[in-house]
Structure 1
């Protein structure tokens, strides 16, 4: 009971901190194994076990690799660690994935079998919206419905346009440490365009886009370049924001922007999962 209580406390703390982690649960064991069914462990993004127990080195490598991959792409994993003769009977080799199960070899003298379910727990993806235009308001509304953590950046007098948001910033001052994995959308549409775009480009982000024409974005980028904004950073700006779906209304434009962000986010997850699989 003590272990479970500790794990539950740690899970709550990590969720509140917005940290990605995975929960590994032993769901079945056959013959002698160090960990028994019901054992759990919290695995952090760097592969360290923060809390709990899933057995010794016989199974740990395969479980940690699967946990890192699950955190990279957000997809759960099921790992079956078995002795070599059992794998041979099933006609599989270590590393084989079959019907949703990844098989790994147990090289310990115990020759036991242990099945482990790995569930990634990821923080909500974040969108930072600068501006209070009709597109900005529509994007904030739809993004919340899709589970995004929405931060609205607009002057105090304009904040009332947004019915709900997870966080609010008066003006366009962004905190660098809180933007690296976020998706930034500048949707000022004539009200503070240059200031908002400068703020958006001054911090790291997974994606930054501008609601406006290519010509307008180019003109603003030229001004910012003259003011010393890094050319490489300017080159990352996506304008106009959103996928080309023929959008006309604010709601349609917001939908196209969210679709683009989802596309970028899923691509980044797939790339990260591939790197995790190749590097371990």
Structure 2
């Protein structure tokens, strides 16, 4: 029990700091093995093992599997056994050869524990306020950037800043939503595009987005940066009220998170860019120079 408590405490520590890791559990053991069913460890992608899931015979297979699981977020069940003792292949179990002389078999479950995706929300409009609450409930780590507001205005937010600029000590966002709705649209878009967020959802019409894109292009932003904008934000649910619009945008964030191949997140961008040629890798844009 003490061992399990230490492992779970380490798991909480790592997830609390946003460190990707996996909870690894021995679910079946055929003697002789040094690990027994129920033994646990927290393993990071860089190979640090906190706990016990067997000796050097099992660890290479576990480390390889943890790296893969942390990368794609999919749980895995593996079997480490000598070839001479290999059991019939079972769907859903990945087999690894046990090179050690012990001759035992271990079935090990690898469950990735990934930090919640970080989303920047710009603005203090009714849509923004509903969006912060909904996205937080969907396990997004929401960072709010809204001038003339206080942290208490967004109780569900993980972080708050009363300006559009992102503080240096904040983690980089995976995505961003600009929900300023007429109050600081251009500076908020500029601030969002200056981060690593991709895509950047903009709560606005295509026409309005096109005009702002022209303004930003005139201020030195290249089409590579502007291609990250998605407008109008959200998926089509015939939303009309601020709460409904926030729901559609939250659904879009969930869609991006659950898209296994990223195709939803990298769908064709808003017509704000007219027919400008888009680069194959929109995350790197040397043409933007200091405006990045």
TM over 0.5: yes
Alignment of 1:24-103 (within 5 A): 24-46=24-46, 48-87=47-86, 90-92=87-89, 98=91, 100-103=92-95
Query: 2: CA distance between counterparts of 1:54 and 1:269?
Result: 31
Cα distance change, pair 213–112 in 1 and its aligned pair in 2 (3 A): same
Is residue 129 from structure 1 mapped to residue 121 from structure 2 by the alignment? yes
The count of aligned residue pairs is 263
Residue 275 (structure 1) aligns with: none
Tell me the TM-score normalized by structure 1.
0.83
Native 8 Å contact 1:22 1:42 kept in 2 = yes
Query: 1: CA distance between counterparts of 2:25 and 2:186?
Result: 50
Q: Which has the higher helix share?
A: 1
Cα distance change, pair 158–36 in 1 and its aligned pair in 2 (3 A): closer
Cα distance change, pair 175–181 in 1 and its aligned pair in 2 (3 A): same
Residue 278 (structure 1) aligns with: none
Tell me which stretches of 4 or more aligned residues in structure 1 moved more than 6 Å.
Answer: none
Tell me the TM-score normalized by structure 2.
0.80
Structure 1 stretches lacking a partner, 5+ long: 272-280
**Bigger RCO (CA 8 Å, 6+ sep):** 1
Structure 2 stretches lacking a partner, 5+ long: 264-292
Is residue 260 from structure 1 mapped to residue 260 from structure 2 by the alignment? no
Is residue 167 from structure 1 mapped to residue 159 from structure 2 by the alignment? yes
Query: 2: CA distance between counterparts of 1:269 and 1:62?
Result: 25
> What RMSD over aligned residues (CA atoms) do the two structures have, in Å?
2.5
Residue 289 (structure 2) aligns with: none
Native 8 Å contact 1:179 1:205 kept in 2 = no
Is residue 226 from structure 1 mapped to residue 209 from structure 2 by the alignment? no
Native 8 Å contact 1:82 1:113 kept in 2 = yes
Counterpart secondary structure, 1:229: coil
Q: Deviations over 1:177-230 (max 9, x none)?
A: 745452210000100001100000001024211110111111111111221223
Native 8 Å contact 1:132 1:159 kept in 2 = no
